[in-house]
Amino acid sequence: MDNSQYAELFLTESREHVAAINSSLLELEREVGGPGAAAAVSAIFRSVHTIKGMSATMGYTGVADLSHQLETVLDRVRSDRLKIDSELMDLLFHSADVLEKAIEAAVAGRPDVEANELVGSLRALTAAESTARAKSPLWSPAISATEGTLVRVQLAADTPLAGVRAFMIVQAVGRVGTVSSVVPPLDELQGEGFDGHITFHLATSADAAEIERTIRAMGDVASVSIAGHDTDPRAEPTGGESGFTAEFEISSAAMAAAPKPVKTGREARNIRIDLRRLDNMMNLVGELVVARGRLSQLASELGDQTLEDTVNDASRLIADLRDEITASRMVPVWQVFDRFPRTVRDAARALGKRVEFTIEGNDIELDRSMLDEIGGAIVHLLRNAVDHGIETPAEREAAGKPPIGRLGLSAVRDRSAVVIKVSDDGRGINRDRVLARAKADGLVEMTKTVLTEDELLRLLARPGFSTAETVTNLSGRGVGVDAAYTRVRALGGAMDIRSVPGQGTTMVMRLPQTLAIVRALLARVGNETYAIPLAHVSETIELTPGIVRTVKGKEVLMERHDVLPLLRLRSLVGLPPYKAAAAIELEHVVVIDLGDRRAGLVIDELTGQEEIVVKQYDAVRDGLPFFGGATLLGDGRPSLIVDVSSLL
């Protein structure tokens, strides 16, 4: 059977198990010697075992061999034959990294030399332990041997990777009893001379029927003989005919211990869908939204009530379809956040720092494609925080702080946006050093003495700008904040910075939940119509002369008890000042906000609201930086989308 069609499923499930392995390794490192260590080791063992079974079924022998050797090491840890120390933890973390690379390489059809080298190292480790144990006067094969029921198993003649299948059978029956006297030995099952026949003793309270069910659940079993009671070699195995179905049923319930398949009598409620299909569906529903706007306008112009009613019904159905597709793309942020504890752990260890890392808001949902895009930006900010923000234990104690630094990652919902924060309690940003570097590079005037938060962020976000005296493997090249800032802006979001010397720094990223379809306010300036996302619109007012003042040569808007900076869209796009056609015609102000920043945007006229399909575009060189995309309006005219974050 051609298993290539299942490669994507294998890759997806294996990535989930690798993430679980890393999470359990972090738990194990915290719990060494504690009550949670055994549970963490067992969780790692289960994930590795599942990867081994899946990779063997898929024919990825390199991954299966690496998983097998890693599983052997973990088994020695579970039985207290290997001591958990810093050296072993480093080896396990390294093994998880190599396993992840081996999985990617296997699916891509590439060789993986690093995996082969690690297999040798793991095999040498277990061999050394076995040799040391055999020499111990407290151990002998006679004492360790366990009597039990004699079991013989013959695999089907065409079983792929028969040695791996036999090993899986031994592992499975080991869950219902104690296995001993395996012939041929487990280490020889991978040899070319293995003929598919294996015998062993099983000490168990299970009856013969349960033992047989356990063995046949692994698939590819021709016959089973238990304590002299031969079974019918023609009996139908309880697993899949090729063994593939049984393996993936087990893997989908990653923590299931019992090998016996369980049929619930109802269909599965979840399926995996390629994200590209969801992207295509969203593009199609976007085109429907545009067509809906055009139909609504035509129906209104024709004045046919029946047609209008039909268009309204179609509009409602299109809106429901859009909402369902949008919801299907939303995933909790933990699917990406879960890999960051390992990132922080490795960075802190490399720098000799102690960091307590916490994550909040794991259940907040974000568009899957946006979540994938923002992951890299968060990694840059986390590494910067560990490297430049959090001090060494000695420096923290000298400053009256606890030796362990605190680093937090949080996600919260704010109206139609998601706010992601990276906060540390480190030394904060040295504004004097940043200002001095900016003056040396000619980025600010030599007379400037103070940097605002916005100026500080814009300087740090410049490509290549860095105040680090040395470059490390983690940061110092001036690309961290720049990469994060650029990515957030490209996704239609905004970024803020808050830093207090001696107390720490917080980087704030504000992102729309989805970029595909948004509701926008349509504003006319001259002969052009611009779209302003409603998520950033607080209110609209007429620009009467009494609410405009001039402060230090700049126009401001007196809104109730607030004083807001006033921006004129005409001036921003290079049009002459507004001239009313009649004395009573007034300009309008759209009060825009982004977090705690607000301003008034002056326009000629408000023309309505509309759901728009956001299309990213490459702006022309030296073009205006105030637009974050484009759209087609209901009448077919193109319109630029105002990037509110570039105005505030």
Enumerate the CATH 3.30.565.10 domain ranges in the chain, comma separated. 333-512
Question: Residue 607, Cβ neighbours under 10 Å: how many?
Answer: 14
According to the model, what pLDDT value does residue 163 have? 81
Residue 363 DSSP label: T
Give the Cα separation of 389 and 236 in Å (integer). Answer: 63
Distance in Å from the first CA to the final CA of the chain: 59
Contact 625, 589 (CB under 8 A): no
Residue range 612-639: average pLDDT?
74
pLDDT tier for residue 96 given thresholds of 50, 70 and 90:
very high
Enumerate the CATH 1.20.120.160 domain ranges in the chain, comma separated. 4-137
Helix (H) or strand (E) holding 230: strand 229-230
Question: Residue 419, Cβ neighbours under 10 Å: how many?
Answer: 20
User: What's this model's pTM, rounded to 2 decimal places?
Assistant: 0.64
* Helix, strand, coil percentages, rounded to 5, for the chain: 45, 25, 35
301 by Cβ neighbours in 10 Å (0-12 / 13-18 / 19+) ranks as exposed
Fold (CATH) for 333-512:
Heat Shock Protein 90 (3.30.565)
14 by Cβ neighbours in 10 Å (0-12 / 13-18 / 19+) ranks as buried
Choose the CATH number for 4-137 among 1.10.3720.10, 3.40.50.150, 3.30.1490.270, 1.20.120.160: 1.20.120.160
Phi and psi at 366, nearest 5°, equal -145, 155
Choose the CATH number for 517-646 among 3.30.70.260, 1.20.140.10, 3.40.470.10, 2.40.50.180: 2.40.50.180
Give the Cα separation of 421 and 414 in Å (integer). Answer: 13
Give the Cα separation of 545 and 539 in Å (integer). Answer: 18
Sign of the CA dihedral running 420, 594, 483, 105: positive
Give the Cα separation of 11 and 272 in Å (integer). Answer: 12
According to the model, what pLDDT value does residue 386 have? 92
Question: Tens digits of per-residue pLDDT, 459-469?
Answer: 888 877 776 66
Enumerate the CATH 1.10.287 domain ranges in the chain, comma separated. 275-331
Sign of the CA dihedral running 390, 393, 397, 402: positive
Give which of 626, 608, 600 is closest to 542, Cα–Cα: 600
Classify 145-252 by CATH class: alpha beta
- CA max distance for the chain: 107
According to the model, what pLDDT value does residue 146 have? 66
Give the Cα separation of 102 and 393 in Å (integer). Answer: 36
Residue 103 has pLDDT above 90, yes or no: yes
Q: In the chain, pLDDT over 70 holds for what percent of residues?
A: 84
Fold (CATH) for 275-331:
Helix Hairpins (1.10.287)
Give the Cα separation of 597 and 557 in Å (integer). Answer: 14
Torsion, Cα 597 599 605 610, to 10 degrees, reads 0
> What Rg value do the Cα atoms of the chain yield, rounded?
32
618 compared with 353, residue with greater pLDDT: 353
Contact 603, 588 (CB under 8 A): yes
Residue 615 DSSP label: B
Residue range 249-254: average pLDDT?
30
Paired tokens of 299: 């129906």
Residue with tokens 């087609």: 632
Give the Cα separation of 337 and 335 in Å (integer). Answer: 6
pLDDT tier for residue 21 given thresholds of 50, 70 and 90:
very high
Angstrom CA distances, 593 to 68, 69, 425, 573, 587, stand at 56, 57, 28, 20, 19
According to the model, what pLDDT value does residue 3 have? 59
pLDDT tier for residue 396 given thresholds of 50, 70 and 90:
very high
Question: Tens digits of per-residue pLDDT, 150-187?
Answer: 888 998 887 877 888 888 888 888 888 888 888 887 77
- Tell me: cis bond preceding 393? Omega within 30 of 0 counts: no
Contact 369, 421 (CB under 8 A): no
According to the model, what pLDDT value does residue 127 have? 77
